[in-house]
Chain A
Amino acid sequence: MGGAATHPAGLGNPRLRDMTGATELAAAEAVAASRTRPEAVTAVLAALLESLDAEPATRETMRGLPSAAREWLLQWIASRTHPEMRWFEACCEQCGEPYDLSIDLSRPAYRDSNRAAATATVETSLGTRQFAIPTGEHEERLALLSGGDPRRDLAGLCGLSSDAEAEALRFDAHDLALIDEAVEAASPDIADSVSILCPCCKSETSGRIDPLKFAVPREGDILLEIHQIARAYGWPLQDILRLKARQRAVCADLILRERQAGRPAGRRP
């Protein structure tokens, strides 16, 4: 039986790239250029990770990871790049009141798969069928589908039979429930949402954690800092991009403070 895990089984040790301006800008551009969230996840992981053990982190390798492993890497990246991040806020779904919550991203709640097999076998009304563990590729394709029954859509995408998509339309509710259970047992899982009682209205509410929303720097922020530094110091773009992300932020902040204080921030003659 799979149990609590601090590191996904079978996933190599991730290694972050040097967090320079170039790395951050690449990640920010990847997010901005992605059409869907799964695409953004693939692009961000490939941009920020250097390798998983000895294997280089490319878009293909990130796309082939199980969905839970991808989310684990996102939370891991968020905890490494923002170790001070601990308190989160959201609004209750019922009363709309804001509340605060403490979450430790360095310890994601991850569960390895219960079985060693990479597929799930289900006895459906159409016969015995096999389904693959959902990966990033399945997520990317799912995101392009119009909203329907997600179980049916994923059954069609993950089905390993030659006519999986057509058969997915013929599965009844019982088949879909069996497929869901079998795929869940064969797949790892991670907690990317919380379910709590609102401290104001005492009703149950939930909230999602999406590191893409706060852990990846925005392109505009980076370019603004680059602009401030270039304008004040006259450094070329490549030199600024080679700065560590924190160094660049410190320089930009110092420039800003000097301007606010009324002192000219710029090159000395």
Chain B
Amino acid sequence: MSFLSRLADRARPPAAAGPLLMPKGFVARQPAAVRREEDAAEEEEVASRAIRRQQPEAPEEGEEGVARAAAPEEPEEQSAGEVQELRRADAGTEAPEPEDEARPLRRAPVPATEPAETDEEMRAVRRAAAGGEGEDEAEVQPARFIRRAEEVPLDDTDRPLRQPFQSDLAPGATPPHPDLATEEEPSNLQALRRDAAPSLPAQAEANMPDRAAPGSGLAGPLPPSGAGFADRSDGRGAAYFEPQYGSAFEPRSAAAASAELTPVIIDQLDVLIHEPAPSSPAARAAPDHGRMLRARYLRRL
């Protein structure tokens, strides 16, 4: 795009110039309804919006990556950061290429339905679009829901005060636990695939080999427990993992892997965390790094 064309794009309405990059969790609210029942309007406004939190880990602030493309003839001030992959491939697979530019992060598909959540888990974002934004209406973002994992307790002091992308939401803003200091954070320059939702439609299984890129350390979405296995049984009455699901972990061919795989049946995996309740108010109020550590471990399962 020519320089003058880019200037012209700045002068046009943002919707006409292409998709916008918005802060994560940002929700453009509708104007507040003007009604006599002010309490109802406020409560409805607050309860109707929430933000889904996608990435709990925090990238290192030292590994800064700036995604820029439109500065011409410009050596970009970017440093190649290390890649932290959620699931690493074996040595036989292709190693990830070093990155010299920012890469986007892929998200998990939206889960089908979410159960009703308590008020402590809902994050209200209070934003109201101004009534006079005629040309900006097209840019209203869809509502997103935020869900706090139950392993991470929320105190009143931890709630975001105003915007969903405050320090407790944005990755990397919360001080890491000392026990997690040795863990490598995902670089801002590297795209990280997110863990897929646990439930997948049966039709998605046909696309699994295309999604898990070999050598990228990225595992394709796991099939739902039992849901697609009935059709794939080997006649011995036991379901087995599809070879393509194992390809992200083993360098062998799919045929060899399927012949050597021992049928494994996992229909449920329960993780029980039992811990005594804190005895004193001070202990309850103090940030529970032990739970944060367990929560982090659970997320990496």
Q: Which residues of A contact B (CB under 8 A)?
A: 3-4, 28, 31-33, 36-38, 67, 71, 82, 84-91, 93, 97-104, 107, 109-111, 134, 139-140, 142-143, 147, 150-151, 153-155, 177, 179-181, 183-184, 187, 189-200, 205-210, 212-214, 218-221, 223-225, 227-228, 231, 246, 249-250, 252-253, 256-257, 259-260
Contact = CB atoms under 8 A, between A and B. Distances in A.
Nearest to B43: A259
Given A37-B12, A246-B161, A198 B104 contact: yes
Contacts of A231: 38
Chain A CB within 10 Å — which of B45, B67, B104, B119 has the most?
Answer: B104
A28 B130 contact: yes
A87 B191 CA distance: 13
Contacts of A28: 130
Contacts of A259: 39, 42-43
Contacts of B102: 101-103, 194, 196
Contacts of B191: 99, 199
Given A4-B74, A154-B8, A189 B21 contact: no
A157 to B, nearest CB: 10
A27 to B, nearest CB: 11
B166 to A, nearest CB: 6
Given A67-B10, A154-B7, A189 B71 contact: yes
A131 to B, nearest CB: 10
B22 A187 contact: no
Contacts of A214: 22-23, 26
Interface in B9-39: 9-14, 17-24, 26, 29, 31-32, 38-39
B105 interface: yes
Nearest to A41: B10
Contacts of B31: 220
B170 A85 contact: yes
A177 B5 CA distance: 11
- Interface range for B: 35 or more
A103 B106 CA distance: 16
A100 B67 contact: no
B160 to A, nearest CB: 8
Given A196-B67, A199-B105, A260-B119, 20 more contacts: A38-B10, A38-B11, A82-B165, A84-B170, A97-B106, A99-B191, A100-B24, A101-B21, A102-B59, A104-B66, A107-B64, A111-B74, A143-B11, A155-B4, A180-B2, A190-B70, A208-B20, A212-B14, A223-B128, A260-B46
5 nearest interchain CB pairs?
Answer: A220-B128, A150-B8, A102-B188, A184-B3, A99-B104
Contacts of A183: 3-4
Interface stretch (B131-139, B175-183, B219-227, B261-269): B131-139
A151 B2 contact: yes
A104 B59 CA distance: 13
B8 to A, nearest CB: 3
B99 to A, nearest CB: 11
B71 A88 contact: no
B19 to A, nearest CB: 5
10 contacts: A82-B163, A100-B54, A101-B105, A102-B65, A109-B77, A110-B71, A139-B10, A209-B21, A213-B20, A250-B161
